[in-house]
Structure 1
Amino acid sequence: MIHYELMLLLRVMPKTELKTVLKRTANMIFEKGGIIRKLENLGTRDMPYKTSVHGVVYNKASYFLYEFNVPPTSIDQLLDEYGRDIDIIRRRIYKKIEPEQFECTLDDELKPPPYRKDVLALVEQSKKGDKPKFKYNTGLDYYPFQK
């Protein structure tokens, strides 16, 4: 299954109500055959702009991040169910992209530019781009009719 991230903005409420909302959202994922990998509380803070949902205007929200695995066919159903929940202000599901692994050594970075591997590769690439000189049977090394 694919890794997903669910970003939830919940209305500001007491901890007991917040706990029930988080359980309800987690149970929706479980019902669709998903597995929750991580739940992260990002705190309560002001929203960047006012948002109107279900007839109420919000300017503060509690931010939560779920990391989970679920079949791709159930993503639309989850978004639809979360859209009908009156405690959820905003919801977004993103496909989690794993950061690519790269090798970086300090020894190579401290070398002068002409000795670095990446600079040598650029020099080789520029040499391949040299165009052959113009050759006609006239004995001239240029095209005489060009300005």
Structure 2
Amino acid sequence: MSLKKINAVLAAVLILFVLWFGTEYIVSPETTAPGCGLPSRPSGDGGGFLVVKGIRGVVMALLLAVLLLTGHRRALGWALMVEALAAYGDMANHEIRPRGGRCRATRRGGRRDGPSLTSARNTRAAPAG
């Protein structure tokens, strides 16, 4: 199997995952959000937030699918990189936004969805001597 085919299969798996993930937020945001560390469905003016997050995921997956199916491999690589930044932005927003003085990730008993920015301050080595 050539490297081109392996890359295409990996991209297709990623596209299907992003499409499924976005669809879950559209179809059942009440059950999907708590499993991803988000609060339950907001009320009032924020009621559509989770559906918008799902639509964003579906559109991102469709963009990647179009680039894969049309054979624009270089553009697909760039789009994957940019979309990874969107996921990093979600993670950074989730990790940095304080909840009661400490970040939420530090109160989950060590379970982290991504690299924690709060634990970086404790990783410095003690000065020698």
Question: TM-score scaled by structure 1?
Answer: 0.23
User: Whose Rg is larger?
Assistant: 1
| Higher helix content, 1 or 2 | 2
Q: Structure with the greater relative contact order (CA < 8 A, sep ≥ 6): 1 or 2?
A: 1
